[in-house]
């Protein structure tokens, strides 16, 4: 019955707001379906720090529950017959919880929605009991209930952000003497949440919106008290004008947010801080949020310094750090030298809103403190290699872009664009790069498959080498063995075509003779990569085998002054009890 109601609500919104660009946002606010929000709009919400508002969030459920509580309280206390039978606060509490439950059901009862509902129920029980409970007790009890019902909630960023925000507000606003003007209280609330969430945001997302306080101060009341209630009424009542009015208000809100997003340095972005820096940062936050009258509260800013000053170490001259990202069935490799960064491929595009470039490659690069990609090479035009390409170009500045992609695909984001072809050579910080394939004249042959146009890149540092072969198949492997056999020898090989049986011929493997081979494939993928016969060929050469579907991302440190080549699978460094015994 609930799903039938949800479907009818969705159809009503689609019919009334047909072809309007922000109709997906209205759907998200009413029924929790954010799949129709455009990728560009998500970026706008993230950069302005209001993404928590653009779907059914704890804030919306709490606001709606509060409206129901206030409305019932207003009515109940004016009817003596009702007020004498049941105290007004208890009646209002029932109304608030009922409203929250109905809204949560309409939202699809997702885990974050349930979490908010359980928190509200704990608060409702405290109000119903008539006991005087301090906010810390209610928060601790709510946290216990949420974790008891859903132990996996602790793995979600939203769990820490939602409880963290409430805890910060309780600390900053609780146990204060006297009345505060509503405007001053609102500013203090926004300040407490903004400064209090910075450490968690930097640890989890390595960015924090500078314009977030302004954007939230503007958007929270408009979205929560105007857009969402009007959209809900317009969805349940046959009054199209309510939905249209809700949409018009949303349009104004989006215009202001876009203006804020255009401001210079709207987002503070940096490397992912080391975990230990969270502790001094939280101490600094607590000192900053102490009551007025405590001297030198500004000293709390010192607690943020470790987060800002301790940066990831870059390789030395002649060394490099290579990270084979886990993008599922696909490929994306980051190569870092002392002062340069190369991205080879960008993984797949999953749907209109999501791809490996925006979800995996760019966040990893930003977490490493990379503000600009010096070189971006896309081996060929298959989705699992080029699907995230446009997101990378849109989200990070790129000096030059090289690929075997057809000319008709327009790419204007990179400063310089070129074809990749055999013979291209350059050096960064003592590390040599050489393209071994394709031949320049091969682009003119329409019979050549996309796979066989893959850019094959050999990278050589002072302590070892790496071969990135894209999706080349046996015919190209044979040509490379004939034309460039001496250049193929490499310490590490990212297996061609994910270990498909159409690649990794015996002669090619013998020419490369890798000490380590990495297969990049999706867990339980329908392609069943890597092929067992291919794995056996590498094992016959005593090559160490790592797989992204089992080992996750794989970091390879080429360190000339230490132990040579060091391969660190992510899952062996970050073990969890649910990981396969394969590790």
In the prediction, which pLDDT does 56 show?
A: 61
User: Which residues in 130-161 are b (16+ Cβ under 10 Å) and which e?
Assistant: eeebebeebbebbbebbeeebeebeeeebbbb
Say which DSSP state 273 is in: P
The whole-angstrom separation of Cα 113 and Cα 217 is 23
* pLDDT given at position 220: 85
Of 329, 361, 368, nearest to 343 by C-alpha is: 361
What CATH class has 320-573? alpha beta
Alpha-carbon gap, residue 552 to 522, rounded angstroms = 10
Burial of 312 (0-12, 13-18, 19+ CB in 10 A): middle
Looking at per-residue confidence, does 573 or 108 come out higher?
A: 573
Gyration radius of the chain's alpha carbons:
28
pLDDT digit string (tens) for 49-70?
Answer: 887 777 666 677 888 898 899 9
Q: Give the Cα separation of 136 and 166 in Å (integer).
A: 10
Q: Which of 267-276, 476-485, 573-582 has the lowest mean pLDDT?
A: 573-582
Whole-angstrom distance, CA of residue 372 vs CA of residue 275? 24
Query: Above 90 in pLDDT, residue 532?
Result: yes
DSSP strands (E only) in 207-337: 207-209, 267-269, 320-324, 333-336
Lowest-confidence range among 58-67, 207-216, 380-389? 58-67
Q: Which residue has 């959209």 as its token pair?
A: 231
The whole-angstrom separation of Cα 121 and Cα 124 is 5
User: What pLDDT does residue 225 have?
Assistant: 84
Cα gap 360→345, rounded to integer Å: 12
Report yes or no: 343 and 361 within 8 Å, Cβ to Cβ: yes
Which of helix, strand or coil describes residue 292?
A: coil
3-class DSSP state of 490: coil
Q: What share of the chain is helix, strand, coil (3-state, %, to 5)?
A: 55, 15, 30
CA angle at 348 for the pair 347 and 351, rounded to the nearest 5°: 145
User: Is there a contact between 91 and 252 (Cβ–Cβ < 8 Å)?
Assistant: no
Q: So what's the pLDDT on residue 575?
A: 84
Q: Which pLDDT score, from 0 to 100, does residue 408 have?
A: 56
What local confidence, expressed as pLDDT, does residue 137 receive? 82
Residue with tokens 């590390």, as numbered in its chain: 431
Query: From its phi and psi, is residue 199 left (phi > 0), alpha (psi between -120 and 50) or beta?
Result: alpha
Higher pLDDT, 111 or 402: 402
What pLDDT score was predicted for residue 470?
A: 93
pLDDT of residue 517: 97
What average pLDDT does the structure give for the chain?
A: 88
Residue 157 or 432, more confident = 432
Q: Which of 127-136, 139-148, 294-303, 517-526 has the lowest mean pLDDT?
A: 127-136
Average pLDDT over residues 166-181: 78
Rounded Cα distance between 359 and 330, Å, is 14
Packing angle between helix 228-236 and helix 58-76, nearest 10 degrees? Answer: 80
Q: Is the pLDDT of residue 580 over 80?
A: no
Q: What is the dihedral of CA 7, 39, 42, 377, to 10 degrees?
A: 150
CB contact set of 53 (below 8 Å; sequence gap of 6+): 45, 59, 60, 216, 219, 220, 223, 224
Structure-block tokens of residue 240: 């199209």
* Residue 563 to residue 464: CA distance in whole angstroms: 11
Query: Is the per-residue pLDDT at 410 higher than 60?
Result: no
The distance from CA 299 to its chain's CA centroid, rounded to whole angstroms, is 32
How many CA atoms within 13 Å lie on the side-chain side of 139? 16
Closest CA to 556 of 312, 398, 334, 293: 334
Q: How confident is the model at residue 583 (pLDDT cuts 50, 70, 90)?
A: very low
CB burial of residue 322 (10 Å; 0-12, 13-18, 19+):
buried
Q: What's the first-to-final CA gap in the chain, in angstroms?
A: 45
pLDDT exceeds cutoff 70 at 414? no
Which residues 6+ apart lie within 8 Å of 331 measured at CB? 324, 344, 345, 347, 379, 384, 385, 470, 494, 498, 520
Determine the average pLDDT of the residues in 531-549.
94
Is omega for the bond preceding 530 within 30 degrees of 0, making it cis? yes
**Residue 190 confidence class, pLDDT cut points 50, 70, 90:** confident
Tens of pLDDT, residues 428-481: 999 999 999 998 887 777 788 889 999 999 999 999 999 999 999 999 999 999
Task: Kindly indicate the confidence band of residue 386, based on its pLDDT and cuts at 50, 70 and 90.
Answer: very high
| % the chain with pLDDT above 70 | 96
The Cα–Cα gap between 567 and 555 comes to 6
Q: Where in the chain is the domain with CATH 3.60.15.10?
A: 320-573
């Amino acid at each position: 019955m609930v799903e039938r109601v949800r479907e009818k609500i969705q159809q009503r919104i689609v019919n009334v707001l047909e072809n309007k660009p922000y109709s997906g946002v209205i759907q998200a606010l009413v029924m929790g379906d954010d799949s129709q929000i455009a990728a560009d709009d998500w970026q706008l919400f993230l950069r302005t720090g209001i993404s928590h508002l653009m779907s059914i969030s704890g804030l919306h459920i709490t606001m709606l529950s509060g409206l129901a509580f206030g409305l019932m309280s207003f009515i109940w206390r004016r009817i003596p017959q009702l007020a004498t039978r049941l105290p007004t606060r208890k009646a209002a509490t029932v109304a608030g919880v009922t409203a929250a439950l109905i809204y949560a059901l309409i939202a699809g009862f997702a885990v974050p929605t349930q979490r908010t509902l359980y928190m509200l129920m704990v608060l409702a029980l405290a109000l119903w009991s008539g006991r005087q409970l301090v906010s810390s007790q209610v928060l601790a009890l709510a946290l216990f209930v949420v974790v008891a019902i859903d132990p996996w909630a602790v793995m979600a960023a939203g769990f820490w952000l939602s409880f963290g925000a409430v805890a910060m507000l309780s600390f900053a606003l609780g146990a204060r003497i006297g009345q505060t003007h509503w405007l001053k209280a609102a500013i203090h609330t926004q300040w407490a949440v903004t400064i209090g969430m910075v450490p968690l945001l930097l640890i989890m997302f390595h960015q924090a919106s500078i314009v977030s306080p302004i954007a939230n101060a503007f958007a929270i009341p408009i979205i929560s008290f105007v857009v969402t209630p009007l959209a809900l009424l317009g969805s349940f009542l046959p009054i199209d004008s309510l939905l249209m009015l809700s949409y018009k208000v949303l349009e104004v809100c989006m215009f202001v947010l876009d203006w804020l997003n255009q401001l210079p340095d709207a987002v503070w972005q940096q490397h992912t801080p080391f975990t230990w820096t969270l502790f001094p940062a939280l101490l600094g936050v607590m000192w900053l949020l102490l009551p007025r009258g405590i001297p030198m509260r500004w000293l709390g800013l010192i607690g943020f310094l470790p987060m800002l000053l301790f940066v990831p170490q870059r390789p030395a001259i002649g060394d490099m750090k290579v990270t084979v990202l886990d993008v599922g069935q696909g490929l994306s490799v980051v190569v870092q030298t002392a002062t340069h960064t190369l991205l080879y491929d960008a993984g797949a595009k999953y749907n209109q809103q999501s791809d490996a470039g925006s979800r995996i490659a760019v966040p990893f690069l930003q977490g490493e403190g990379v503000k600009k990609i010096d070189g971006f090479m896309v081996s060929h035009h298959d989705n699992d290699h080029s699907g995230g390409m446009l997101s990378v170009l849109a989200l990070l500045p790129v000096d030059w872009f090289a690929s075997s992609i057809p000319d008709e695909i327009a790419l204007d984001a990179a400063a310089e664009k070129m074809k990749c072809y055999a013979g291209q050579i350059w050096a960064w910080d003592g590390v040599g790069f050489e393209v071994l394939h394709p031949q320049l004249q091969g682009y003119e042959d329409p019979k050549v498959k996309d796979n066989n146009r893959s850019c094959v890149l050999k990278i050589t540092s002072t302590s070892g080498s790496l071969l990135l072969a894209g999706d080349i198949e046996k015919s190209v492997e044979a040509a490379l063995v004939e034309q460039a056999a001496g250049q193929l020898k490499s310490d590490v090989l990212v297996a061609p075509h994910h270990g498909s049986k159409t690649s990794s011929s015996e002669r090619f493997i013998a020419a490369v003779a890798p000490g380590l081979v990495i297969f990049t494939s999706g867990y339980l993928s329908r392609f069943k990569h890597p092929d067992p016969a291919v794995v056996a060929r590498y094992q016959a050469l005593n090559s160490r085998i790592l797989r992204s579907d089992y080992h996750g991302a794989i970091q390879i440190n080429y360190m000339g002054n230490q132990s040579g080549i060091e391969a660190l699978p992510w899952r062996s460094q970050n073990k969890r009890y649910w990981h396969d015994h394969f590790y």
